[in-house]
Structure 1
Amino acid sequence: MKLGLLFLISIIAFSASAEISLVKVKGFDVEYEIKGSGKHVVFLEAGGSAGLSDWDPIFENLAKNAKVIRYSRIGNGGSEKIKKNYSSEEYAEEAYLLLRALKIDQPVVYVAHSYGAYIARIFSSTYPDKVSALMLIEPASEHDVDIMRKIDLALAEKEIAQVKLDDLANGMSNQYLDFWSKRPLPDYPLIPDIPVTVIASTKKFEKPSLLFFSDQARDMWGQWHSDWVNTFPQGKIVLTNKSYHYPQNDEPEMVVKEITELLSRVKH
């Protein structure tokens, strides 16, 4: 009986992961999953050190109306492990190579979360003919630290220094250099005139751990992203006070609705 139960459990576990495959990118194994069909291809870029599982709450629903691709960057999730200080430029190149390896020729609707926004912005300016629309969910920005400095410069510098030390103590994450470099990332018109949606959270924290999470900073965060996306002729801002940094987890229906609306604005 126990043997049979274990066999059944193993079959269920295999079935749950059977759709996830591996493909070589620059000689490394990259895990990915493709599901659904339709006129559009939606390409999902996770944040930070996250993998493709970060899209679990919305992946199945998105695949009802489009071909949806999710993957884990090299070093993340179930992709091949590597210790390296990556730049968003390298990640963008590898996203391009992944799509080429998967024989995705048409432009994609690029949906990115958090740090993934760095990659999506660079990808969109480097390969403009490969992107038909862009959605950034709670996007990290090179101006994040400016918000803190405008509120309290001395305290901001102290907190930023501690965050750097904490990051180093954890082995220096792949995106460390990108987070704290001050070079500007591509904006409009370096990113082409395509439909762009930004979802940003202005939800207040009861006990902010950093200046960045203070009430004033939350309002500035929402305003900065509103100003940024409104420079695009086809830009749209969605501000939410119902979720923090992971709207796709806390408000999956809203995120799917906004992606579906974005698809309706794609011209080709």
Structure 2
Amino acid sequence: MKVANLDLEYKIWGAGKKVLLIEVGIGSSFYNWIPFVEKVMQDFTVIMYHRAGYGSSEVSKNPRTTEYIAYELNNLLKSLGIQDKIMIMGHSFGGLCALHFVKLFPDKVNGLVLLDSTSPNFNRLYDLDIPIMNSLISIDQLIQSNLDHSNKTKEELKEHYCVMIEESYNRISEYEANKFEAFISSPKLFQTVSEELRHWELSSEKIKRLSKFPNIPLTVIARDIETSVNAFIKYNIPEEEAREYERVWRELQIELAKLSNQGGIIIADRSDHEIHIDRPEIVIQSLTSFL
């Protein structure tokens, strides 16, 4: 597939021999990752970027499938002159993007970390009898929510995400916090996210139809069930629904770890979905094992 080059926003930290590329979760910014990256940049050259339509990255005319995202990332790596094999770490939906990249370009990757990653078999979560949870986190609901946000003004979005913006000023530099404020108050971000969600099922099917996963080192880091159940309960999700959801989420994580003969799974005790924030030391330890 020939995909036009896009002007994608990126940032490079460190000068380690191993190149680590991080794919962020859906709707997320690499600014949120800076405290984590500062802990690993001594050992790695870390590349982070914003997918098309995120931050200052150009909006793509291509459908927002993980296939196009993978080809656009490959173009970025070429433009940066990255010739050596890289490690990829993908968080949440970013894990789905990373998985697609690895299957399309197996000769360019020497290791993959899936950080509480979305599974290509995510539909099994929506087949569960969990009506209250599904009413809040169904794909259709998430698409509509992001479309609603895309119709807000920048000022309305700043007001909506004021707590998140204020917290960023406490975690990262003022310059980077200003950039994050611009990121989260961009209507185009939420339009892009709605399109990524709309193509989620198609992306998953395309990944499953691709050739076998290459036999490379693979580490899956999964969240703690009890921590996540308690978090859902705080949002008035019935405990039995939360436990059923987490049971299948864990099954999907175990399946991901079996994609490679060199695969393994780590449970991030006392961590919810954002493991790089809740338990960064676990993620760092798993990365250093690749060195």
Same structural fold, with TM-score higher than 0.5 when normalized by the shorter chain: yes
Number of aligned positions between the proteins: 238
DSSP-derived class of the 2:8 partner: strand
Deviation at 1:73, TM superposition (A): 1.3
Native 8 Å contact 2:62 2:68 kept in 1: no
Which position in structure 2 is the counterpart of 1:169?
148
Q: Deviations over 1:44-100 (max 9, x none)?
A: 111112222132121112110121111111211232356874111111001101110
**Paired amino acid for 2:234:** K
Structure 1 unaligned runs (5+)?
Answer: 1-24
Task: Supply the distance in 2 between the matched residues of 1:71 and 1:215 (Cα, whole angstroms).
Answer: 34
Aligned residue identity for 2:275? P
CA contact (8 A) 2:116 2:222 kept: yes
In the other structure, the counterpart of 2:73 is 95
Moved more, 223-232 or 243-252: 223-232
Q: CA deviation at 1:179?
A: 2.5
What is the aligned partner in structure 1 of residue 205 from structure 2?
183
Corresponding residue for 2:245? 217
State which drifts further: 182-191 or 167-176: 182-191
Deviation at 1:235, TM superposition (A): 0.5
- Say which one has the larger Rg: 1
What amino acid sits opposite 1:67 in the alignment?
A: T
Tell me which residue corresponds to 1:17: none
The answer on 1:109 being equivalent to 2:87 is: yes
User: Distance between the aligned counterparts of 2:241 and 2:93, measured in 1?
Assistant: 17
| 2-structure distance, mates of 1:62, 1:155 | 40
- Is 2:255 aligned against 1:236? no
User: Contact conserved, 2:275 with 2:283, CA < 8 A, in 1?
Assistant: yes
Going by fraction, where is helix more abundant, 1 or 2?
A: 2
Where does residue 5 of structure 1 map in the other structure? none
TM-score between both structures, scaled by the size of structure 1: 0.78
The one-character-per-residue Cα deviations of 1:106-137 (angstroms, maximum 9, x if unpaired) are 11001111111121111111111111000111
Aligned to 1:66: 44
Gaps of 5+ in 2: 151-190
Amino acid paired to 1:38: G
Pairwise CA RMSD of aligned residues? 2.8
